[in-house]
């Protein structure tokens, strides 16, 4: 696993899994947590069971649909119907929030006092449509009192997009053009930079992470852009009982 490298209070626990160390076979080798990608259900169950041993409770799994929906993890039941959402927030101790990714950007968020945490799944659609803004609005403190860790996502030299994606961002926020590098008829998009710009607009200064590339670091990460059919990492955060 990769622990979040940030200045969160010590009772905030946060990490992202890597692809090694699980039970899944080819092409999901080996620590896949996605039930929706065509992997053997028994292998996914085994991977989740092994993960569960490291956690204080079952994670709140989400059906992620590239929306801007953030659910209240205090009310959602991890053993009931899986919520359709792309983020979850909680104030409860030992309640694990989780998002799965395989190129999209996971954001783990907490307040300075460590009383509220959220896990957010942000692909380019979510970023363009305001999932960061929606997530921050769910906290009961000012944005300036939040800190964010940007987990592993596809890097700025690997994420090729078309003019339509650029236009989607620039028509809302013209300065986003600086987050794209033109290469022929296409562009390279910088998800980390797009996220940092939005966090800065909100007044959030404590932003860490953004150091990995899921596409190029094949030994560590699954990448949908690289492999097509592939597994999913999971990023998790919770408030440990004090």
Q: How far apart are CA 89 and CA 138, in angstroms?
A: 8
CATH of the domain at 17: 3.60.140.10
Nearest C-alpha neighbor of 185 from the set 149, 159, 160? 160
Nearest C-alpha neighbor of 152 from the set 59, 54, 219? 219
Provide mean pLDDT across the span 165-186. 96
Burial classification of residue 242, based on how many CB atoms lie within 10 Å of its CB (0-12 exposed, 13-18 middle, 19 or more buried): exposed
User: Is residue 58 over pLDDT 90?
Assistant: yes
Provide mean pLDDT across the span 62-71. 96
Cis peptide before 30 (omega within 30 of 0): yes
Residue 44 lies in a domain: yes
* Digit-coded pLDDT (tens) for 119-158: 999 999 999 999 999 999 999 999 999 999 999 999 999 9
Residue 178 lies in a domain: no
Residue 208 lies in a domain: yes
Residue 158 lies in a domain: no
Residue 231 lies in a domain: yes
**Contact status, residue 198 vs residue 136, Cβ threshold 8 Å:** no
Q: Domain count for the chain, please give it.
A: 1
pLDDT of residue 63: 95
pLDDT of residue 215: 98
Residue 186 lies in a domain: no
User: Is residue 167 over pLDDT 70?
Assistant: yes
Residue 121 lies in a domain: yes
Domain containing residue 67: 2-153+204-239
* Digit-coded pLDDT (tens) for 68-110: 999 999 987 656 678 999 999 999 999 999 999 999 999 999 9
Residue 196 lies in a domain: no
Give all strands of the β-sheet with 233-239 in edge-to-edge order.
2-3, 12-16, 233-239, 97-101
pLDDT of residue 78: 58
pLDDT of residue 79: 60
pLDDT of residue 61: 96
Provide mean pLDDT across the span 164-177. 96
User: Is residue 241 over pLDDT 90?
Assistant: no
Q: How far apart are CA 181 and CA 167, in angstroms?
A: 13
Predicted structure pTM score: 0.94
């Amino acid at each position: 696993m990769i622990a979040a490298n940030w200045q969160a209070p010590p009772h905030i626990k946060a990490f992202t899994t890597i692809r090694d160390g699980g039970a899944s076979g080819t092409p999901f080798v080996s620590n896949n947590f996605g039930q929706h990608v065509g992997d053997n259900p028994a292998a996914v169950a085994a991977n989740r069971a092994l993960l569960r041993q490291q956690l204080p409770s079952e994670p709140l799994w989400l059906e992620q649909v590239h929306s801007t929906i953030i659910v209240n993890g205090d009310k959602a039941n991890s053993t009931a119907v899986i919520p359709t959402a792309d983020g979850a927030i909680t104030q409860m101790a030992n309640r694990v929030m989780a998002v799965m990714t395989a190129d999209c950007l996971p954001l783990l968020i907490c307040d300075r006092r460590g009383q509220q945490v959220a896990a957010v799944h942000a692909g380019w659609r979510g970023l363009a449509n305001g999932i960061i803004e929606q997530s921050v609005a769910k906290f009961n403190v000012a944005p300036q009192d939040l800190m964010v860790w940007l987990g592993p996502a596809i890097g700025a030299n690997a994420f090729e997009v078309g003019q339509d994606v650029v236009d989607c961002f620039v028509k809302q926020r013209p300065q986003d053009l600086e987050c794209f590098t033109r290469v022929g008829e296409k562009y390279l998009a910088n998800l980390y930079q797009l996220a940092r710009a939005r966090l800065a607009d909100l007044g959030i200064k404590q932003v860490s992470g953004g150091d990995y590339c899921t596409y190029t670091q094949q030994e560590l990460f699954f990448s949908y852009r690289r492999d097509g059919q592939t597994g999913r990492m999971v990023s998790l955060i919770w408030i440990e009982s004090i």
